[in-house]
Each structure stands twice: as C-alpha cells, then as structure tokens.
C-alpha cells in the first residue's frame, strides 16, 4: 500500500485554525510537524509521501541507516495515514502539491500559489482531514 498521490493538491483541513501558514516550532525533541516541514521544505519535489513518512518515522524511532531497508518493509506492511492526516495541513496551514512523479512540495495557505493550485482543474483536489468531527 502506498500513500503517494500523483497530480494532486491537498488543501488545508476545513477546520484548520490558522488563516496563514505557520512554521512549526523546532524543539529539543522535534515533532512530526517540525520534521515533515524541515524535510519537505529542504527538498521540494524531491521526495514522495512514502519517503517523507518513513523518514520521519525512522528519525523519531532512531532507526540506523543499516536497518532502514528492513524497517521500510515493516513500516509499510501496515496501512499508513497519508499526508492528508499531517499536522502541517490540519493545524499549521500548509497544503501539499504532488506532481506527476508523486513528489511533494509544501504550499503556504494565504499565498497566490496556494490559490492557483487549489483552483486548477487538472489536479485532483483533496482536503486534509478535519481535526474534529463535524
């Protein structure tokens, strides 16, 4: 099973509390949001969703490089939540653009790029998951 999307724009959750994108705080123990933000912002359109989710998992779990191939298989043996469940899209105001090759870039809520991508008919449009029940 994969979490990758192709030619898709994931907009922020309908109940996202911020009107503009915010950078998650990086603390002594980085959060999932901080790790995802750093990884995607430093490597726009270089990584797929699967690669991002696994790298964050491996970093937080302290998985050494030598064990990552086996850990990848174990991680994806179970269904994983896609970036629609990311705190970046649910809380911090970041959308995700997945290109034709399934690579991901961040798009800040409140920008012209966000408005343009959310209006494109040639992209699958999906919203991030809500934080609370409607």
The pTM for the full model equals 0.93
**Residues 100-125 pLDDT 10s:** 999 999 999 999 999 999 999 999 99
Over 80: is that where the pLDDT of 134 sits? no
Per-residue model confidence as pLDDT tens digits over 43-59: 999 999 999 999 999 99
Measured between alpha carbons, how far is 38 from 93 in angstroms, rounded to an integer?
15
Average of pLDDT values for 59-64? 95
């Amino acid at each position: 099973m994969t979490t990758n999307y192709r030619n898709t724009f994931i907009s922020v959750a309908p109940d996202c509390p911020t009107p503009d994108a915010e950078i998650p705080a990086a603390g002594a123990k980085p959060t999932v949001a901080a790790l995802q933000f750093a990884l995607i912002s430093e490597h726009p359109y270089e990584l797929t969703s699967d690669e991002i989710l696994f790298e964050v998992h491996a970093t937080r779990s302290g998985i050494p490089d030598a064990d990552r191939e086996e850990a990848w298989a174990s991680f994806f043996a179970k269904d994983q939540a896609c970036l629609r469940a990311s705190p970046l899209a649910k809380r911090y105001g970041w959308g995700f653009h997945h290109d034709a090759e399934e690579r991901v870039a961040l798009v800040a809520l409140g920008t012209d790029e966000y408005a343009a991508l959310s209006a494109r008919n040639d992209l699958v449009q999906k919203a991030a998951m809500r934080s609370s029940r409607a």
